[in-house]
Amino acid sequence: MAVRVGVLGATGAVGQRLIQLLDPHPDFEIAALTASDSSAGKSYRQAAKWRVEGPIPDDVAETTVSATDPDEVPDDVDLLFSSLPSSVGSEVEPAFCEAGYVMSSNSSNARMADDVPLVIPEVNADHLDLLEVQRDERGWDGAMVKNPNCSTITFVPTLAALADYGLEKVHVATLQAVSGAGYDGVSSMEIIDNAIPYIGSEEDKLETESRKLLGEFDGAELSHDGVEVAASCNRIPTIDGHLENVWVETDEDLSPEDAADAMASYPSLELRSSPDQLIHVFDEPDRPQPRLDRSLGDGMAVAAGGLRESSFGLQYNCLAHNTIRGAAGASVLNGELLLENGYL
């Protein structure tokens, strides 16, 4: 029997992608959609400016959108996926958890809270057990797990693959697609024939979230990894797919060949949305590229290439689809992890 799920913030860019991924999912059944008060009471077809490829799923199109309030969501919904703006999520998400709902959230609020697991299942699935600490400390019957920022999730799997060599310092420069800013985030006049070398708060997210993801959980407390991370974030005129240039300094000698082997052999999981191969490594120096490689593994894989030695250490490029692996797909994957681990 499928788990009944709801989507908070269902009309936005990530909300639409969540619906696209959840509608055919054999383990989940969409039972509730919420949005702003201006959309409440309308059919989803009326409320959403649908911009994801393909039509709105027929069994979702006529679903009535409700307000984003725990009293408006049916009690028999077992799992909520949140794509709310962080300013809304910081107020609303705890109220849902207090009301007993379990939540897999893409929103940035509370990602760095000590008792909130920030999870990439292939990297740190064991951090999910931090939910027991969360419930004890907050007195919740529900629970909240977060997936990281779309740019963080692109390079952290490659770092995890290299962790045995002793990560010391990481520099990363991102070339981020416009879809990462949402449908109304960057105007065409700003981005066409241009690049914007600043994305508000993005650099801090890469620098802090990566250390939490690579940290260790001892059953009671989570300690962050000691690697030093410095980031520079840039918006470029690609539609989907965040490309990142990474420099890594390690304790042990690390050749490009060893790094390529470590990345290519890094294990995936048997969760339904996890790709067969998590990291695809290209030999070509000009790969990966957003247009060519963002859809690897149905958009859930990470691509790496251009591995070479530099005066700083190992240098390489990596890429992931920012609205699938970096957002909606990551939330769905965490939902599958919650289901597998008996939290639903």
Q: What angle do CA 318, 170, 198 make, to 5 degrees?
A: 70
Report how far residue 98's alpha carbon sits from residue 91's, in angstroms, rounded to the nearest whole number. 12
Report how far residue 73's alpha carbon sits from residue 9's, in angstroms, rounded to the nearest whole number. 13
Q: What percent of the chain has pLDDT over 70?
A: 100
For residue 70, count CB atoms less than 10 angstroms from its CB and return exposed for 0-12, middle for 13-18, buried for 19 or more. middle
pLDDT at 285 over 80: yes
The two three-digit tokens of residue 209, written as one number: 């979230």
pLDDT at 344: 95
The closest alpha carbon to 307, from 265, 244, 243, 256, belongs to 256
pLDDT average, residue stretch 52-75 = 95
The closest alpha carbon to 107, from 81, 130, 139, belongs to 81
pLDDT at 175 over 80: yes
Report how far residue 28's alpha carbon sits from residue 19's, in angstroms, rounded to the nearest whole number. 11
pLDDT average, residue stretch 242-266 = 98
pLDDT at 182: 84
Task: For residue range 318-335, list pLDDT tens digits in order.
Answer: 999 999 999 999 999 999
Instruction: Return the CATH number of 3-148+327-340, one of 3.40.50.2300, 3.40.50.720, 3.40.190.10, 3.30.420.10.
Output: 3.40.50.720
Q: Average pLDDT, whole number, for the chain? A: 97
Helix (H, G, I), strand (E, B) or coil at 314: strand
In the numeric block, the tokens 């990297």 are attached to 123
Q: How far apart are the first and last CA of the chain?
A: 13
The two three-digit tokens of residue 334, written as one number: 């965490």
The two three-digit tokens of residue 222, written as one number: 């989570």
Residues marked active site are found at 150, 242
Report how far residue 264's alpha carbon sits from residue 99's, in angstroms, rounded to the nearest whole number. 43
Q: Which amino acid is at 41?
A: G
In the numeric block, the tokens 């985030």 are attached to 185
pLDDT at 183: 74
- Alpha helices by DSSP H, 111-224: 121-124, 130-138, 152-162, 188-191, 202-213
Report how far residue 240's alpha carbon sits from residue 257's, in angstroms, rounded to the nearest whole number. 29
pLDDT average, residue stretch 209-235 = 98
In the numeric block, the tokens 């999870």 are attached to 119
Report how far residue 105's alpha carbon sits from residue 12's, in angstroms, rounded to the nearest whole number. 14
In the numeric block, the tokens 């639409």 are attached to 16
pLDDT at 185: 83
pLDDT average, residue stretch 58-63 = 95
CATH 3.30.950.10 fits 152-321, yes or no: no
Q: Which amino acid is at 152?
A: T
Q: How far is CA 279 from the centre of its chain?
A: 16
- Sequence-distant (6+) residues with CB within 8 A of 9 are 15, 34, 35, 68, 82, 83, 84, 85, 88, 107
Locate the domains of the chain by residue range. Answer: 3-148+327-340, 152-321
pLDDT at 218: 97
Report how far residue 320's alpha carbon sits from residue 342's, in angstroms, rounded to the nearest whole number. 29
Residue 189: Cβ within 10 Å count:
8
Q: What is the signed CA dihedral for 249, 250, 251, 252, rounded to 10 degrees?
A: -120
Report how far residue 91's alpha carbon sits from residue 230's, in angstroms, rounded to the nearest whole number. 30
pTM summary value: 0.97
Q: What percent of the chain has pLDDT over 90?
A: 97
Task: For residue range 82-137, list pLDDT tens digits in order.
Answer: 999 999 999 999 999 999 999 999 999 999 999 999 999 999 999 999 999 999 99
pLDDT at 184 over 80: no
Per the CB < 8 A criterion, the answer to whether 283 and 309 are in contact is: no
Task: For residue range 260-276, list pLDDT tens digits in order.
Answer: 999 999 999 999 999 99
Report how far residue 84's alpha carbon sits from residue 73's, in angstroms, rounded to the nearest whole number. 15
pLDDT at 20 over 90: yes
Phi, psi angles (nearest 5°) of residue 315: -125, 140
